[in-house]
Structure 1
Amino acid sequence: MSLFAFTLVVVAAIAHAAWNLASKKASSSGLLFIWLGAVASTVFYLPLAIVDIGLHGLELRSFILGATVSAVLHVAYMFLLQRGYAAGDISVVYPMARGTGPLLTVVFAIVIFGERPPPLALFGALVIVAGVVAIGLAGSVGRRRAASAGLGMPGAAPSRMRAGIIYGLLTGVSIAAYTLWDASVVNGGGVSPLTFMVGCTLGELVLLAPIALRRRAQLVTVWRSFKREAVIVGLLSPLSYILVLWAMQLAPVSLVAPARELSVVLVSLAGWLVYREPNPVQRMVGAVVVLGGVALLAVA
């Protein structure tokens, strides 16, 4: 992977971790918060997309089909992620999702796109997935220990652990689906990452508009409670993915998808330091493993 592509992925990982932490605070708001984030994204990025289209043109058919399918996949991803954050710990849901997603993406990028990453890069990808899973299991172990010690509500910890794992795995499947689809659009459809991402955001607005209109009073309450978080998500969520799509134009999908999981290290640190989630030693060991895998990708 080139240094420039790797830099794009690192910046994207930082932005991705930041918006996920903001989303965690509003996890109980569900689809209404997602819609507000899409509104904020449109306000930020639509003017830039118009300029981009004016400069580079647009393959309309690829744009409409690509953005429509991607919007459906991204709404499913955001919904599962929000539900997971509400039902489980961020340090379980997020690592499980980010571990499953790139693993499936690497496999299908090789099968579907015919990519042949070098052995060192493939090993680095597997190391990253192993580190991510180790971080996720740290939350599970901590919950089980708390439950066995009689801390908290009986049955609550195992229930949150199971919910976190299930939603994490489902979210990972959705990540693999939208990553492979979006890579095919920006690499083969003649659509720039910026314009494509704005099209996806507009699709999300349309898909979720009926829910937002039916629940206007609740929407106002969510905005008043979480407007700062909605703005953060609206700004950083598209930015992180635009950078990833750009990197996918410069490097194989099977390398970019695992490398972006650097964000797991940042979220796991926050889960420990901010949310006081358990078992920090295993989290940090997993984080070091992830960093080692990212380093292997950088030199491959």
Structure 2
Amino acid sequence: MDLLAIALILAAACCHATWNFLIKRLNGGPELVWLFSLVSSVIYLPLVVVIMLLERPTFGAMELIFLAGSGALHLAYFLLLQQGYRRGDLSVVYPTARASGPLLSITFAVLILGEYMTVQILGGGLAIIIGVFFLTGGFRSRTSNLRASLGFGLATGVLIGSYTAWDAYAVTALMLSPLIVDYASAVLRTVALAPYAAARKPLVLGFWRDHKGAVIVIAVLNSLAYILFLIAVTLTPLVYAAPAREISVLLTVMLGTLILKEGSFRGRIGWAALILAGMLLLATG
């Protein structure tokens, strides 16, 4: 695995873990997604203008389809995940989504993108996926709505796998800028969620008034994490990058354990070690 790609994925994981930790503390819904998407669209606009002036990309029908499709998939992911958390059991939805997402990404990479799979890559990927699943709680037999929770988790995982493979094709085959791909997604989310945010204006203003700094950090790191990941995808196959990206889940869970006192740190050490072992297999593959 390319060393620069590893560095980018690790940096992306740190960004992803940080913004997820902050958004978890704010406990917001689609109105918060709209707010940080809007702020992100404003902050990254100058960089987009620079890219447009320097690279002068051309956007044909295929490029526009992929930009719109990327935005739609990401929007669907955010909304479905929110519904899953509301109507399902978080302890089932989250681990199912985070484990099935990269597994599907790897499958799409091999079947659709034509990437090559080795035993070492498969072993490393599965180690990370299994570690993530159990690190985030695994199945809990006491869940009263297991079927609905599994359904939301798997559906969310399908969206994770789909937008990851879709965007990987956009930046590798169509040569679209990772910044442009992520920015188009942020703009589409902003436009699509505007009516929802307008109907909950007091809540949106409350988030901005009370948590402006956190919202800005989320807006910056949400986009930066995915941009760095997409840059890494241009340097290394998706079969490496997709499971390696889940190192962010390890960081998020550890932040929650150490700072928010969620769960037992000692009980999670083994699964954390399995994830790191999987990352090592991918790094040396």
Q: What is the TM-score normalised by the length of structure 2?
A: 0.90
* Paired AA for residue 236 in structure 2: A
Matched residues in 1 for 2:83 and 2:245: separation?
23
Distance change in 2, residues 1:171/1:232 (3 Å):
farther
2:206 equivalent among 213, 216, 221: 221
Per the alignment, residue 44 of structure 1 pairs with 43
Contact (CA 8 Å) 1:13, 1:260: kept in 2 or not? Answer: yes
- For residues 257-281 of structure 1, the C-alpha deviation after alignment (integer angstroms, 9 at most, x for no partner) is 0001111111121232233333433
Distance change in 2, residues 1:25/1:90 (3 Å):
farther
Distance change in 2, residues 1:16/1:165 (3 Å):
farther
Per the alignment, residue 153 of structure 1 pairs with none
* Paired AA for residue 220 in structure 2: L
1:253 equivalent among 238, 244, 265: 238
- 5 Å-filtered alignment, 1:108-119, equals 108-119=108-119
Per the alignment, residue 10 of structure 1 pairs with 10
Give the gaps of 5 or more residues in structure 2: none
Task: Please state how far the C-alpha of 1:64 moved relative to its aligned partner.
Answer: 2.6
Per the alignment, residue 265 of structure 2 pairs with 280
Task: Please state how far the C-alpha of 1:167 moved relative to its aligned partner.
Answer: 4.1
- 5 Å-filtered alignment, 1:177-216, equals 177-216=162-201
Distance change in 2, residues 1:90/1:231 (3 Å):
farther
User: What secondary structure is seen at the aligned counterpart in 2 of 1:251?
Assistant: coil
* Paired AA for residue 256 in structure 2: G
Distance change in 2, residues 1:236/1:246 (3 Å):
same
Matched residues in 2 for 1:292 and 1:129: separation?
12
* Paired AA for residue 211 in structure 1: Y
Task: Please state how far the C-alpha of 1:50 moved relative to its aligned partner.
Answer: 0.8
Distance change in 2, residues 1:108/1:298 (3 Å):
same
- For residues 231-264 of structure 1, the C-alpha deviation after alignment (integer angstroms, 9 at most, x for no partner) is 1221001101001111111111111000011111
- For residues 89-118 of structure 1, the C-alpha deviation after alignment (integer angstroms, 9 at most, x for no partner) is 877654432211100111121111111132
Per the alignment, residue 137 of structure 1 pairs with 137
Contact (CA 8 Å) 1:24, 1:90: kept in 2 or not? Answer: no
Distance change in 2, residues 1:90/1:7 (3 Å):
farther
Distance change in 2, residues 1:172/1:270 (3 Å):
same
- For residues 28-62 of structure 1, the C-alpha deviation after alignment (integer angstroms, 9 at most, x for no partner) is x3111001011111122111011011111112134
* Paired AA for residue 193 in structure 2: L
Per the alignment, residue 263 of structure 1 pairs with 248
Further displaced range: 163-172 or 281-290: 163-172
User: What secondary structure is seen at the aligned counterpart in 2 of 1:287?
Assistant: helix
Distance change in 2, residues 1:5/1:60 (3 Å):
same
Contact (CA 8 Å) 1:63, 1:196: kept in 2 or not? Answer: no
- For residues 117-174 of structure 1, the C-alpha deviation after alignment (integer angstroms, 9 at most, x for no partner) is 3221121111111111121336x55xx7xxxxxxxxxxxx735988765544332221
Among all aligned residue pairs of Structure 1 and Structure 2, give the percentage whose two residues are the same amino acid. Answer: 39
Matched residues in 2 for 1:116 and 1:11: separation?
25
Contact (CA 8 Å) 2:67, 2:185: kept in 1 or not? Answer: yes
2:217 equivalent among 232, 235, 257: 232
Contact (CA 8 Å) 1:15, 1:236: kept in 2 or not? Answer: yes
Per the alignment, residue 31 of structure 2 pairs with 32
Matched residues in 2 for 1:226 and 1:256: separation?
33
Matched residues in 1 for 2:256 and 2:90: separation?
7
Matched residues in 1 for 2:72 and 2:41: separation?
17
* Paired AA for residue 191 in structure 2: V
Matched residues in 1 for 2:93 and 2:279: separation?
21
Q: Does 1:58 align with 2:43?
A: no
Further displaced range: 29-38 or 228-237: 228-237
**Structure with greater helix percent:** 1
Task: Please state how far the C-alpha of 1:14 moved relative to its aligned partner.
Answer: 0.7
User: What secondary structure is seen at the aligned counterpart in 1 of 2:116?
Assistant: coil
Give the gaps of 5 or more residues in structure 1: 145-156
Q: Over aligned residues, Cα RMSD in angstroms?
A: 2.4
Distance change in 2, residues 1:25/1:202 (3 Å):
same
Contact (CA 8 Å) 2:70, 2:181: kept in 1 or not? Answer: no
